[in-house]
């Protein structure tokens, strides 16, 4: 029994930031696998891509007004009427149920040749709207990736905590067994046994709580990947911290690649397009038209029995607004205000992102130091717990004192797991802010 207890003692003293090996589990889900599944299946991403596809369909020269509009028309009218016609000569022409019909057909083409460059402006605006749609899709993708990775590593750190308390429970069971044997031998007390049982149940309760949290986190991750929420899977057993990120590199990448900043610049450009469109409406609009018409009429009463006409018509039109109650002036003034507002919003958002990046990086640097410190603390707690275990086995240490050493080791493990997890979340946040979270 002493050998078995010592083995468990060493196992607990050797805790690292790991959990059960995924090699022993089926359906191991890697972070890259989770991201790829989300990129393929996530509903928000799919909706964003469909909205982008609509903008792609709209990005045509015809939609901007470059191409002519052609129409065909045809129609036939029939009538039955009673007619009585009396001429100056005294002749009377009277018909009952006189039938008449007319057949008409035509083709027309209208083409705007000049509209103050508004069609060129509209085409550029359609391109910018498409670019904005692409950026919104990218933003949704980046947000989803960040959520997936955050959820994934939450499961990893919870499984690490489960591994810690699995071993703590096993060790607690051995402690209860030792306390019970010592009580039977007369060298222990019932109080020590009861305290050991209370501590064991405390660890079991904490273990159940972590297992419940894993279930909830797994459901969340499955939802992000748009698959059955009840699917079970294993995850990696470690959280690997990236090489130390450089602040200047992150800031430069953010100013160059952050999709929100790029969207704010597009807002300025599109506001400028609105002003150019208003200016274009002051110019004359010149167009051409071309048409062909055919008409055939038949009548059983009247002056003409049959009539047939056909021919081509063509022409050039021009129109220009002379006075509109100063409406264009008002719209131009509002467009300039919109441009100024968009520019201010971009400046404000740039400063906001810089502040977020700096704050996150400061926290990130602090957490890296905390990880190094907690690793040292864990080594110290390991040594302390090994010594406490030996003394407890020899009867030189009370169960309460031994439990205190165990709690110190558990707390050291908890703090290290938490620190590493928080660093990983900050890495994800910094990559998202800098616009570098997307896989190559």
Q: What is the pairing mode between strands 234-235 and 28-29?
A: parallel
- Domain spanning 14-433, CATH architecture: Up-down Bundle (1.20)
> Please, what is the Cα angle at 257 between 256 and 263, to 5 degrees?
100
In this prediction, residue 37 carries a pLDDT of 95
What distance in Å separates the CA atoms of residue 261 and residue 346, rounded to the nearest whole number?
Answer: 7
In this prediction, residue 175 carries a pLDDT of 85
In this prediction, residue 300 carries a pLDDT of 64
In this prediction, residue 22 carries a pLDDT of 41
What distance in Å separates the CA atoms of residue 176 and residue 339, rounded to the nearest whole number?
Answer: 74
Weakly modelled stretches of the chain, pLDDT under 70:
1-26, 85-87, 90, 92, 300-304, 439-440
Domains of the chain, by residue range, sit at: 14-433
In this prediction, residue 81 carries a pLDDT of 73
What distance in Å separates the CA atoms of residue 172 and residue 210, rounded to the nearest whole number?
Answer: 18
In this prediction, residue 440 carries a pLDDT of 52
Q: Do 280 and 117 touch, CB atoms closer than 8 A?
A: yes
Q: What share of the chain is helix, strand, coil (3-state, %, to 5)?
A: 65, 15, 20
Q: What is the pairing mode between strands 234-235 and 69-86?
A: unpaired
What's the start-to-end Cα distance of the chain, in Å?
55
In this prediction, residue 303 carries a pLDDT of 63
User: Other CB atoms closer than 10 Å to residue 92's CB: what's the count?
Assistant: 9
Q: Do 406 and 3 touch, CB atoms closer than 8 A?
A: no
Give which of 436, 432, 437, 430 is closest to 364, Cα–Cα. Answer: 430
Model confidence, pTM: 0.84
In this prediction, residue 8 carries a pLDDT of 36
What distance in Å separates the CA atoms of residue 312 and residue 309, rounded to the nearest whole number?
Answer: 11
**Dihedral pair phi/psi, residue 21, rounded to 5°:** -65, 130
3-state secondary structure (DSSP) of residue 382? helix
Q: How many alpha carbons lie under 13 Å from residue 373 in its C-beta half-sphere?
A: 9
- The contacts of residue 223 (CB under 8 Å, 6+ apart) are 229
Read off the tokens for 208: 């159940």
When computed from its CA atoms, the radius of gyration of the chain, rounded to whole angstroms, is 40
Chain centroid to Cα 200, Å, comes to 44
């Amino acid at each position: 029994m002493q050998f078995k207890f010592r083995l468990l003692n060493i196992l607990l003293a050797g805790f690292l930031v790991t959990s059960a090996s995924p090699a022993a589990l089926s359906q191991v889900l890697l972070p890259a696998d989770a991201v790829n599944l989300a990129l393929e299946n996530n509903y928000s991403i799919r909706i964003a891509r469909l909205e982008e596809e609509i903008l792609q369909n709209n990005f045509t020269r015809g939609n901007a007004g470059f191409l002519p509009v052609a129409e065909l028309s045809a129609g036939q009218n029939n009538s039955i009427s009673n007619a009585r016609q009396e001429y100056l000569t005294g002749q009377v022409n009277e018909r009952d149920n006189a039938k008449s019909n007319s057949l008409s057909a035509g083709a027309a083409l209208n083409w705007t040749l000049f509209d103050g460059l508004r069609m060129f402006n509209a085409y550029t605006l359609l391109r910018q709207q498409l670019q904005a749609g692409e950026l919104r899709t990218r933003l949704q993708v980046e947000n989803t990736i960040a959520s997936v990775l955050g959820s994934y590593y939450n499961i990893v750190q919870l499984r690490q905590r489960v591994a810690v308390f699995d071993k703590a429970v096993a060790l607690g069971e051995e402690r209860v067994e030792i306390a019970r044997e010592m009580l039977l031998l007369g060298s222990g007390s019932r109080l020590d046994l009861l305290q050991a049982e209370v501590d064991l149940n405390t660890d079991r309760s904490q273990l159940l709580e972590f297992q419940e949290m894993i279930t909830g986190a797994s459901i969340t991750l499955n939802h992000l990947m748009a698959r059955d929420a009840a699917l079970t899977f294993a995850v990696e057993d470690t959280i690997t911290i990236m090489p130390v990120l450089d602040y200047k590199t992150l800031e430069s990448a953010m100013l160059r690649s952050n999709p929100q900043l790029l969207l704010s610049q597009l807002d300025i450009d599109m506001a400028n397009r609105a002003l150019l469109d208003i200016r274009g409406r002051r110019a004359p609009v010149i167009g051409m038209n071309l048409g062909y018409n055919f008409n055939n009429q038949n009548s059983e009463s009247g002056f003409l029995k049959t009539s047939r006409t056909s021919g081509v018509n063509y022409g050039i039109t021009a129109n220009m607004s002379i006075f509109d109650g100063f409406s264009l002036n008002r719209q131009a003034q509002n467009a300039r205000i919109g441009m100024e507002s968009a520019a201010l919003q971009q400046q404000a958002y740039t400063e906001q992102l810089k502040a977020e990046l700096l704050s996150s990086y400061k926290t990130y640097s602090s957490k890296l130091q905390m990880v190094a410190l907690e690793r040292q603390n864990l080594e110290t707690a390991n040594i302390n717990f090994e010594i406490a275990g030996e003394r407890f086995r020899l009867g030189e240490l009370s169960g309460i004192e031994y439990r205190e050493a165990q709690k110190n080791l558990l707390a050291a493990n908890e703090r290290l797991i938490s620190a590493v997890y928080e660093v990983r979340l900050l890495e994800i946040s910094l990559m998202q802010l800098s616009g570098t979270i997307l896989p190559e």
